[in-house]
């Protein structure tokens, strides 16, 4: 399949899913003015850059209670927000390949990331600094998870210098 056809098929599917996708963020604490839409083409560029850095990734892990809807209960989220929260971030879920991403102030994205993961149960919430200084992958494990019920799994990622 050609890249253009693949893009058009993904875009068509995303057009059908987009209102539900956007509502996950709005129901998670974001206001309309907090979210600037990043279209599918720009999203593809961001993901291409991110994938090119994959061999240099360094990861820290944290698990917190699923009852912890306040980002301050995560040492990783809180520390990064305190130190780097002024820079913009992309925030998105697994549906980015169809629906794109949103750009938001870092502090707002980090404040609401747990809620996005909780609301979009079964999907990962991603927060990526626009300057590729850090990213977060956040999963909510609901009560059906036998190993870690009602927990947030948080991965903080940075990249080694080449």
Sheet order of strands, 88-93 included: 36-38, 101-105, 88-93, 125-129, 135-141, 151-159, 57-65
CA distance 127 to 71: 13
CA distance 110 to 127: 7
Domain boundaries, the chain: 3-159
pLDDT digits (tens, 9 = 90+) for 80-123: 888 876 899 999 999 999 999 999 999 999 999 999 999 987 89
- How many alpha carbons fall within 13 Å on the CB side of residue 117? 31
3-state class (DSSP) for residue 146 = coil
Predicted model pTM: 0.92
pLDDT at 156: 95
Residue 94 token pair: 């697994």
Judge whether 157 and 64 are in contact, CB under 8 Å. Answer: no
Q: Which residues contact 79 (CB under 8 A, 6 or more apart)?
A: none
């Amino acid at each position: 399949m050609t890249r253009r056809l693949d893009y058009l098929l993904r875009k068509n599917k995303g057009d059908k899913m987009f209102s539900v996708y956007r509502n996950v963020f709005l129901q998670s604490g974001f206001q309309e003015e907090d979210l600037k839409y990043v279209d599918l083409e720009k999203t593809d560029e961001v993901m291409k850059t991110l994938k090119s850095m994959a061999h240099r990734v360094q990861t820290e892990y944290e698990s917190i209670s699923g009852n912890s809807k306040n980002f301050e209960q995560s040492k990783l989220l809180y520390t990064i927000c305190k130190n780097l929260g002024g820079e913009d971030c992309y925030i998105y879920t697994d549906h980015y390949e169809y629906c794109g991403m949103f750009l938001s102030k870092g502090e707002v994205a980090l404040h609401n990331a747990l809620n996005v993961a909780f609301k979009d149960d079964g999907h990962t919430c991603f927060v990526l600094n626009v300057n590729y200084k850090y990213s977060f992958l956040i999963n909510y494990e609901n009560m059906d998870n036998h190993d870690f019920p009602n927990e947030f799994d948080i991965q903080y990622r940075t990249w080694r210098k080449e």
